[in-house]
Amino acid sequence: MTDDDRLIAAELAIGLLAGEEHVRARSRAIVDPAFAQEVEWWQQRLAPFYAQVAEESPPPYLRERIASRLDVPMMQERRGTSSWRLVGFGGALGALAASIIAWMMSANMPAPTVSPPQSVIASRPLVASLLPTDETKEPPVVVLLERDTRRLSLSAKIQAPDARDVQLWLIRAGATPISLGVLSAASNKSLRLQRTDLPDVGDALAASIEPLGGSPTGKPTGPVILSGKV
């Protein structure tokens, strides 16, 4: 399966296809088990992001208003489907989904196999979308957890004020926050976790601003700037 096939499967899984393009992809999923498994894999990984935001369609006059202010031609359609479809897909959340797809594909993540054993499913990466809180205007950050290597990677660096560090926390239901590590300037996009601190599906992750070296109390002391569920 090519990268373009994987992209089409991802777009079908999260509703970015329309018209003939959607019909072709849906028909292929019926007769091609490998493609159907790819669609299911993307649905399992990306569906939780869209449960957080209600769908909202743009008003009919918006496209014409934007076009009238642009000094460039409108974008050409790709594979027969207008690029405008992203606007009706939840605005920023649709853009975030596209960045997640691109980032996961660029990381050469392994394609799923048909009916994998439970041991394989348990070792598949987990994903969390850390969204900004009221305390910050930080952009969203995608967190990828490779459970077999216990490596946690961030899609972008989280900025901290001068003389401060960013600290990442694991928050399990009804439990005290657990520090996953300090995202210093030298290691801001990657952490190696202890086996006992591995997040699971449904756990929450949060990033707070702390003194250099991390919280002196073992609990978040500064403002929480990003948070989201695994």
Full pLDDT tens readout for the chain, 230 residues: 787 888 888 888 877 888 888 888 988 888 888 888 888 888 777 756 656 666 677 788 777 777 777 755 554 444 444 444 444 444 445 555 666 666 666 555 555 544 444 544 556 788 888 888 876 677 888 888 888 788 888 888 888 888 899 999 999 888 899 998 888 766 667 788 887 788 888 899 999 999 998 999 999 998 999 999 98
Residue-range domain boundaries for the chain: 3-71+83-106, 125-229
pLDDT of 19 reads: 83
Tens of pLDDT, residue by residue over 55-100, are 677 788 777 777 777 755 554 444 444 444 444 444 445 555 666 6
pLDDT of 216 reads: 92
| Three-state helix/strand/coil letters over the chain | CCHHHHHHHHHHHCCCCCHHHHHHHHHHHHHCHHHHHHHHHHHHHHHHHHCCCCCCCCCCCHHHHHHHHCCCCCCCCECCECHHHHHHHCCHHHHHHHHHHHHHHHCCCCCCCCCCCHHHHHHCCEEEEEEECCCCCCCCEEEEEECCCCEEEECCCCCCCCCEEEEEEEECCCCCCEEEEEECCCCCCEEECCHHHCCCCCCEEEEEEEECCCCCCCCCCCCEEEEEEC
Beta bridge partners of 144: 127, 153
Task: Provide φ and ψ at 33, rounded to 5°.
Answer: -60, -35
pLDDT of 208 reads: 92
Rounded CA-CA distance 23/34 in Å is 18
Tens of pLDDT, residue by residue over 173-189, are 888 999 988 887 666 67
pLDDT of 141 reads: 86
Task: Provide the token pair at 170.
Answer: 């694991």
Task: Provide the token pair at 155.
Answer: 């899609």
